[in-house]
């Protein structure tokens, strides 16, 4: 069974959790909404194209292999925003357009935002029977994305190539093992050349989280409900989904 596997590594990442008021928390690994957004950006889908994103949500199964949860970084954030009344009949396709109004019409909003420092994970994608894009097409898009890719927020670009690979395996957990073997071999070869500084070898997967539509040959240690199933982009509405988590017990 083919699966698309890629890595998400960055000095900073932010995987939005349920936000209340001015507090913007971050999960320690991406959920379905983040993965759908990432693949949509790579393919060049517009944010307002809800039907295309819904297809990415429903036609594929996703699993995340957490290598490191990183450390929490909490930021007190201020931002200038115009009122909706100020934007009426004005083009505002960019941040520059939004701020090109008289200063007295700008408001300041305050928020507390969480980030994860030096977190890393692997992602496995399994295609369904009615998937509109092949796994090869998704991998090509991640190598040469149409839009810039971020790990949750614009302040969080990837710190390493996503290195998408098609892996043939009976389950996502086996695909993660084979992907790490390939990646370790590739980095070892690079470290033996004169023009590459010594690169760290990838850490193992500590736990795996998955939902509907992907095969994982593990018994869950925990089953939770996450509100990260994207419904409507305009209203920032998300639905519930069931997620299973299995801890990977290492031999000692």
The rounded mean pLDDT for the chain is: 90
Question: What is the residue extent of each domain of the chain?
Answer: 2-16+27-69+117-247
pLDDT in tens, 94-128: 777 777 777 777 888 788 999 999 999 999 999 99
Rg (CA), the chain: 20
Q: How far is it, in rounded angstroms, from Cα 110 to Cα 103?
A: 17
pLDDT in tens, 63-77: 999 999 999 999 988
Contacts (Cβ under 8 Å, ≥6 apart) of 43: 133, 138, 141, 146
**Are 111 and 101 in contact, with CB atoms under 8 Å apart?**
no
Confidence (pLDDT) at 252: 43
Q: What is the CATH number of domain 2-16+27-69+117-247?
A: 3.30.70.2660
**Are 45 and 132 in contact, with CB atoms under 8 Å apart?**
no
Contacts (Cβ under 8 Å, ≥6 apart) of 247: 206, 207, 221
Confidence (pLDDT) at 250: 59
Q: 186: how many CB neighbours lie within 10 A of its CB?
A: 14
**Are 149 and 41 in contact, with CB atoms under 8 Å apart?**
yes
Confidence (pLDDT) at 202: 94
pLDDT above 80: residue 235:
no
Q: Which class for 73: exposed (0-12), middle (13-18), buried (19 or more C-beta within 10 A)?
A: middle
Which sign, positive or negative, has the C-alpha torsion 104, 23, 118, 157? negative
Length reported for the chain = 252
Give me 157's structure tokens: 């670009």
pLDDT in tens, 12-32: 999 987 777 788 889 999 999
Q: How far is it, in rounded angstroms, from Cα 107 to Cα 86?
A: 11
pLDDT in tens, 35-46: 999 999 999 999
Confidence (pLDDT) at 95: 74
pLDDT in tens, 159-216: 999 999 999 999 999 999 999 999 999 999 888 787 777 888 999 999 999 999 999 9
């Amino acid at each position: 069974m083919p699966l698309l596997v890629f890595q998400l590594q960055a000095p900073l990442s932010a995987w939005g959790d349920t936000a209340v008021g001015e507090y913007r928390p971050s999960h320690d690994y991406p959920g379905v909404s983040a993965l759908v957004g990432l693949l949509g950006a790579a393919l060049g889908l517009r944010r307002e194209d809800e039907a295309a994103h819904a297809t990415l949500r429903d036609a594929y199964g996703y699993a995340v292999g957490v290598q490191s949860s990183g450390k929490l970084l909490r930021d007190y954030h201020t931002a200038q925003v115009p009122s909706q009344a100020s934007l009426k009949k004005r083009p505002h396709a960019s941040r520059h357009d939004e701020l090109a109004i008289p200063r007295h019409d700008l408001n300041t909003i305050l928020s507390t935002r969480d980030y994860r420092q030096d977190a890393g994970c692997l992602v496995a994608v399994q295609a369904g029977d009615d998937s509109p894009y092949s796994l090869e097409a998704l991998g090509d898009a991640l190598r040469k994305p149409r839009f810039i890719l971020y790990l949750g927020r614009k302040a969080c670009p990837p710190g390493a190539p996503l290195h998408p690979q098609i892996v043939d395996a009976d389950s996502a957990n086996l695909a993660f093992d084979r992907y790490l073997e390939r990646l370790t071999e590739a980095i070892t070869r690079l470290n033996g050349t004169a023009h590459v500084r010594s690169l760290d070898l990838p850490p193992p997967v500590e736990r795996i989280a998955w939902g509907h539509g992907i095969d994982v040959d593990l018994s869950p240690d925990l089953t939770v409900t996450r509100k990260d199933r994207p419904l409507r982009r305009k209203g920032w509405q998300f639905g519930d989904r069931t997620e299973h988590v299995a801890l990977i017990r290492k031999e000692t």
